[in-house]
Structure 1
């Protein structure tokens, strides 16, 4: 394979992987909404989590371990909760199942969510404190520097079952 062929195939491969990832995200969102209709799934772009990390100096080291996935998941949850509390009127912009109910032409322009995280305290419309920078940064520092990572694993056993001369494969939970 020549260098040009490699480059061309690489571009197509990456494009396919991105489409596949988006399809998986849609499917998982649909499954969660189906099983838990009361849950609000908030769409948070990775860029926003990355900007938060950079702004507050939470370095991501992919070579050390996989801990950055857990920390990113927490940051995503934190940012999503903050968006819902600080901008309740914008909820249809963030909540996954509400996308089709709004017109994006009416989306707020020129809003910098990161500026909100720089404030020492932020209150909602009722005066309730929804962001306390000192408390949250202290908590995030403890979380970020934590080296005790609990891992839970489920045990499953692969069993072959034969019914009506048609073998089928099932996963069976092993109770220990």
Structure 2
């Protein structure tokens, strides 16, 4: 999803983004990208231009996408209204205990992978 689209979603539903406190906003941005992207995918399938071409004469205001229910072939992506999908999104956005997994790895080379030279053959000794 475009950052502008998710930012508009944040503004429309009053989700504040605080960058200065910690990196939690990255996880919440990822979640909102999934929510907004899923709605767009269900509404327009894989290609929005194809969808518009196949439905001639219809006009779309993408800024009002989340005012209406969005469903296709029995899959409901967004239920509009105060008791709709926004309830679940708000509950998830209120959580502040994100599971973070860090990759552990061993660095090799550099410090220990040096060529051993005889005394007087190194760069330091040639400069003196």
TM class by shorter-chain length?
0.5 to 0.7
1:27-176 equivalence runs, <5 A: 44-88=1-45, 91-93=46-48, 111-119=60-68, 121-124=69-72, 126-133=73-80, 134-160=83-109
Q: Deviations over 1:30-67 (max 9, x none)?
A: xxxxxxxxxxxxxx211100000000000111112211
Q: Deviations over 1:115-137 (max 9, x none)?
A: 12122x3332x354331133421
TM-score by length of 1: 0.51
1: CA distance between counterparts of 2:38 and 2:31? 11
Post-superposition offset of 1:110? 5.6
Post-superposition offset of 1:112? 2.3
Please tell me whether Structure 1 or Structure 2 has the larger radius of gyration of its CA atoms: 2
TM-score by length of 2: 0.67
1: CA distance between counterparts of 2:59 and 2:16? 27
Identify the structure with the greater strand proportion: 1
Identify the structure with the greater helix proportion: 1
Pairwise CA RMSD of aligned residues?
Answer: 2.8
Q: Which runs of 5+ in 2 are unaligned?
A: 116-128
Q: Higher RCO, 1 or 2 (CA under 8 Å, sep at least 6)?
A: 2
1: CA distance between counterparts of 2:41 and 2:87? 22
Q: Deviations over 1:59-93 (max 9, x none)?
A: 111112211111111111222221111112xx235
